[in-house]
Amino acid sequence: MSEIRKGYVRPLDLKHGRVDMTHGSGGRAMVQLIEELFAKYLGNEYLGQGNDGAVMPMPKGRLVMATDSHVVSPLFFPGGDIGCLSVHGTINDIAVMGATPLYLAAGFILEEGFPLGDLARIVESMARAAQEAGVPIVTGDTKVVEQGKGDGVFITTTGVGVVAEGEDFSGDRARPGDKIIVSGSIGDHGMAIMAQRESLGFSAPIISDTASLFGLIVAMRESGAAIRVLRDPTRGGVATTLNEIARQSKVGMMLQEAALPVNPEVAAACEFLGLDPLYVANEGKLLAVVAPDDADTLLAAMRAHPLGLRAAIIGSVHEDAHHFVQMTTGFGGRRIVDWLTGEQLPRIC
């Protein structure tokens, strides 16, 4: 046993402290940040191994891997923050493949001067989201950039999951006649961010829908319905995601505007800012393309889950060599629902 006295280390000051360049240096300050902040909240047996990589058991099946970077501004918004968003984003990308998400890795790019208290709130929120979804964050990385070279914090999460043989949800499997289902109201996340950013003082704030969709997807798979495609309509919204599926599957689609679930406050904010909810990002919604005969079964299963209460059949798939997504408007006319052009809302996730 060493006789050398243990040096006193001043604990991280989460109240007034700020990130400085030493926190990314690899030295003591970085170790302290990891121990007192990241490990404190995220701690689990794999992260605790303390090696350059984590070693975990691997169940049978095929490996699914997804990654997602998060640059949302503002970092905190009604209904969530960049922390839980970064966990939900990657879990959802894995879950819509029909896979069970298993492990996450998280990379942080911190800006010098970022309040440690805010970082703690973000990491705590990640921990909560990871725990709720039952997917541990098993490894991570932290880098610090000089003030003005970042914007507070950017987070990249990478996840792995397993998918059983025979579970093949893929964007190219939509067939003419299939029905298109959305799991709930559209545009909530994007408008929550936008309302916050533009300081739109609505009497009831718009709440982001950020959530892990894994539970809902399990319920959908257990319904036995022949699901062809699952996808979460994040950036670019429902319109862009449906166009992706239409192109991959080489089909056209026809939506019914009257069937689209849109929260009144989101509709109002969109109207106000000249946006279309079909193009606004979601972070806790999914689109399903399902065989026509199974549409009602799937819809019932979705509506029985808390994240699918407002699920609705919004359209159908048909043959179309041009792969147009079209819509019958509530007005009685018809129009294309095109790919998103340009950048409607920058830094939404």
Partner 1 sequence: MKYIDEFRDGELARGLAAAIRQIAWPQRNYHFMEFCGGHTHAISRYGVTDLLPPNVRMIHGPGCPVCVLPIGRVDMAIRLALETGVTLCTYGDTLRVPASDGLSLMKAKARGGDIRMVYSSADAVRIAQQNPDKQVVFFAIGFETTTPPTAVAIKQAQALGLKNFSVLCCHVLTPAAISNILESPEVRQWGTVPLDGFIGPAHVSTIIGSRPYEFFAEEYRKPVVIAGFEPLDVMQAILMLVKQVNEGRAVVENEFSRAVTRDGNLKAQNLVSELFELRRSFEWRGLNEVPYSALRIRKEYAEFDAERRFGIEYKTVPDNKACECGAILRGVKRPQDCKIFGTVCTPENPVGSCMVSSEGACAAHYTYGRYKDIAVVNG
The residue ranges that bind partner 1 (CB under 8 A) are 176, 198, 252-254, 258, 264, 267-268, 271, 273-274, 316-322, 324, 326, 329-336, 338, 341-342
Q: Mention every residue, 6+ apart, whose C-beta is less than 8 A from residue 336.
A: 324, 325, 326, 327
* Closer to partner 1 by Cβ: residue 81 or 265: 265
* Closer to partner 1 by Cβ: residue 56 or 268: 268
CB atoms within 10 A of CB 94: 25
CA distance 34 to 123: 11
Q: Mention every residue, 6+ apart, whose C-beta is less than 8 A from residue 52.
A: none
Find the shortest distance in angstroms from Cβ 135 to partner 1: 37
* Closer to partner 1 by Cβ: residue 241 or 326: 326
* Closer to partner 1 by Cβ: residue 45 or 198: 198
Find the shortest distance in angstroms from Cβ 196 to partner 1: 14
CB 317 within 8 A of CB 253: yes
Find the shortest distance in angstroms from Cβ 295 to partner 1: 15
Find the shortest distance in angstroms from Cβ 325 to partner 1: 10
* Closer to partner 1 by Cβ: residue 254 or 301: 254
* Closer to partner 1 by Cβ: residue 58 or 258: 258
Q: DSSP class of residue 100?
A: E
Task: Kindly list the distances between the CA atom of residue 264 and the CA atoms of 195, 201, 206, 274, in Å, as whole numbers in the listed order.
Answer: 14, 15, 10, 15
* Closer to partner 1 by Cβ: residue 42 or 345: 345
3-state secondary structure of 27: coil
* Closer to partner 1 by Cβ: residue 220 or 246: 246
3-state secondary structure of 137: strand
CB atoms within 10 A of CB 328: 16
Find the shortest distance in angstroms from Cβ 276 to partner 1: 8
Comparing CA positions, the residue from 339, 115, 111 lying closest to residue 238 is 339
CA distance 79 to 58: 34
User: Burial level of 131, CB count in 10 A (0-12/13-18/19+)?
Assistant: middle
Find the shortest distance in angstroms from Cβ 79 to partner 1: 22
* Crossing angle of helices 82-95 and 214-222, rounded to 10°: 20
3-state secondary structure of 117: helix
Find the shortest distance in angstroms from Cβ 303 to partner 1: 25
Find the shortest distance in angstroms from Cβ 254 to partner 1: 5
